Amino acid sequence: MTPPPMRTSRCGLLLLCWLLLAATWPATALAGDLTLRFVDAGSGEPVAGVVVVAASSSEPSPVKAEIEQRDRQFRPGVLTVPVGSTVDFPNRDDTQHHVYSFSPAKPFELKLYADRPEAPIRFDTAGVVELGCNIHDHMQGFVLVTDANRTWRSGAAGLVTLPSQETPLTVRYWHRQLPDNTRFHPLTLGAPRPAHHRVALELQPPPPANNALDRLQQRFREL
């Protein structure tokens, strides 16, 4: 039996209202997802800029990226790329730079140059690569080379939401102010896995602007 026209109209109107309301709701984690909340162990404040890497069943595809030098800073200060990627280092300042790294994952040196180096640098080993400039001691940057297809980075609220995966779950995380920022740190959650997990990080204060790379700079001069 065909419902009265008025009833059909009301159903359609209710459906339309529901769709409009759903479109205005903030995005939320789906059932089975895991939300990590990174906080400063000292203050309890959320920590932005935490990079999280989860295990991947397939090899990531290399990309082409760049870290520019502008206003005597590496921009971005932290770049995450898959293994095999190439990174260009254009100099957009009115002074020359001398970019280098001693990190085991990719030691390299781009001697004093302006504009753009002759060729980009290929990062073919997973790991954390710390960058410095031999001319400007305060300049510090990082290239995070990963063997995973997906990475996440916490925002101002310190949150990272991972899609549903089998348990136990092991992820790796990194932040530039960790006492040991030369590597990723493991985090394992067993079954039953919680929907939310708080991770308290012991962080060092950011280095002063005029002495950010004293250790790295001293090593460069010794060599």
pLDDT at 167: 55
pLDDT tens across 75-119, in order?
A: 999 999 999 999 999 999 999 999 999 999 999 999 999 999 989
Residue 106's nearest CA partner among 92, 93, 91, 120 is 120
pLDDT of 159 reads 98
Report DSSP state, residue 41.
T
- Residue 111 CA to its chain's centroid (Å): 27
The whole-number average pLDDT for the span 139-149 is 94
Domain at 34-222: CATH code:
2.60.40.420
How large is the average pLDDT for residues 14-39? 57
What is the average pLDDT across 188-196?
81
Q: What single-letter amino acid sits at 217? A: Q
Q: For 198, how many CA atoms within 13 A lie in the half-sphere containing its CB?
A: 7
pLDDT for the residue numbered 53: 94
For residues 178-199, average pLDDT: 90
Residue 28 in this model has a pLDDT that exceeds 60: no
Q: Which residue has the higher pLDDT, 121 or 168?
A: 121
If you ran DSSP here, which 8-state letter would residue 61 be given? P
Query: Does position 122 have pLDDT exceeding 80, yes or no?
Result: yes
Instruction: Read off the amino acid at residue 140.
Output: Q
| Mean pLDDT along residues 115-130 | 95
Q: Is the pTM of this model over 0.75?
A: yes
Cα distance between residue 86 and residue 7, in whole Å? 62
Quick check: 21 pLDDT over 90? no
pLDDT band at 70 (very low <50, low <70, confident <90, very high): very high
In whole angstroms, what is the distance from residue 82 CA to residue 194 CA? 29
Residue 218 in tokens: 């001293």
Task: Return the higher-pLDDT residue of 42 and 58.
Answer: 42
The Cα 222–Cα 83 span in angstroms is 30
* Cα–Cα dist 66/90, whole Å: 7
Give CA–CA dist 83/94, Å, rounded: 32
Domain ranges of the chain: 34-222
Residue-level pLDDT at 139: 92
The strand order across the sheet containing 121-123 reads 64-66, 85-88, 121-123
